[in-house]
Amino acid sequence: MRLIKGLFFFLLLCSCDKNTDPANTNNEVKNGALVLCEGLFQHNNTQLSYINFENHEVENGFFLNRVGRQLGDTGNDIKRYGDKIYIVINVSSTIEILDAKSFESLKQISMMDGSTAKQPRNIDFYENHAFISCFDGYVDVIDTSSLELTQRIQVGANPDQIMVIDQKLYVSNSGGLNYPQMDSTVSIIDLNSLNEIKKIDVGLNPGPICADDVGNAFVISRGNYGNIPSKLIKIDTDIDEISEEFNFSISGIEKFGNKFLINFVNSGSGNNMIALFNPLNGVIEDNSFISADQIETLYGIQYNEISDKLYLMDAMNYTNTGYVFEYDAMGNFLNSYHVGLNPSKILFFE
């Protein structure tokens, strides 16, 4: 047997690898950011990349290096609430909860309903509850102290984005798994009674939600990626009715001070632009606030209020490892960081 193994040993030699970043398992995390890199479906390669803004080093495999195992398949959201970090893993159907200082794993919550994966998508918080949209048509409520599931609230089809605004939870029911007959509603859950109190029809395939400084909710109706274009819908949260519609082709939205950065397609040039949108008067104030020329596939925009810097995430062609680009608040390029596959969300540490 040894002879056979020896005979084939040379066959197992492989070409040189272009591995990028050495592991650094320093637990002291400050002035940095954890980047959730979604990975690719059925590859079990979701990872956290840690960017150190002081020395500009990147540690890929941050979770693996500290917890000793992989995050799983297709990470979808990461948020910090109190002294805990919550990571939502969609295809593995888990919620990973880490201590926000030691980065020790506190718990892995399996999001299975019998033999069916609930496929959690996004998370938000209110008082001592975490709310998690699950693609099986529910919002799961988890007690942030006991880390136990306490309730399931039925909403629309394939709920996706989720946001707490003034004691209410706004849930965009994408219905994405019913293509081409997708959902078009936003569910509103009263966070005191934990019941769905209303559904608003906002247009096909509701997605990202953002709130302005006066409590209005803005929801992107993503259309069908074909003949039904996307648009931005403004909801007056006092009466939970649509108050305005903006018919430009928009795919992303991020709060930036008292304004929004939006990713939209310029109807004139057809170019993908990152624009500055004023939610108070509904005007695009700067069509091209940040040049996206060096970005192949814009996959996320995030603003760090404390450092007053902007971050754009580039998913490249979705199968090559991505980049995070750093800009100052005026939209001037500062740095770029090579991170994992499909970076989509950032958690900042001061």
Binding site for other proteins (CB under 8 A): 1, 4-5, 7-8, 10-20, 38, 40-45, 47, 60, 64, 67-70, 72-74, 89, 91-94, 108, 110, 112, 115-117, 119, 135-137, 157-158, 175-180, 225-226, 251, 299, 316-321, 340-342
In 3D, which of 133, 136, 130, 76 has the Cα closest to residue 107? Answer: 130
The answer to whether the beta carbons of residues 40 and 299 sit under 8 Å apart is no
**In angstroms, what is the minimal distance from the CB of 350 to other proteins?**
29
- What sign for the dihedral angle of Cα 75, 78, 84, 90? negative
The answer to whether the beta carbons of residues 143 and 184 sit under 8 Å apart is no
Select 7 or 239, whichever has its Cβ closest to other proteins.
7
Backbone angles phi, psi at 268, to 5 degrees: -75, -55
**In angstroms, what is the minimal distance from the CB of 26 to other proteins?**
18
Task: Kindly report the number of other CB atoms within 10 A of residue 319's CB atom.
Answer: 10
Cβ burial of 24 (10 Å; 0-12, 13-18, 19+) is middle
Select 144 or 263, whichever has its Cβ closest to other proteins.
263
**In angstroms, what is the minimal distance from the CB of 14 to other proteins?**
4
Could you tell me the two tokens for 47?
A: 């990872």
Select 94 or 216, whichever has its Cβ closest to other proteins.
94
**In angstroms, what is the minimal distance from the CB of 54 to other proteins?**
25
Select 108 or 187, whichever has its Cβ closest to other proteins.
108
Select 37 or 164, whichever has its Cβ closest to other proteins.
37
**In angstroms, what is the minimal distance from the CB of 285 to other proteins?**
26
The answer to whether the beta carbons of residues 254 and 303 sit under 8 Å apart is yes
**In angstroms, what is the minimal distance from the CB of 116 to other proteins?**
5
Select 119 or 122, whichever has its Cβ closest to other proteins.
119
In 3D, which of 213, 211, 210, 160 has the Cα closest to residue 187? Answer: 160
Residue type at 268 in one-letter notation? G
The answer to whether the beta carbons of residues 149 and 139 sit under 8 Å apart is no
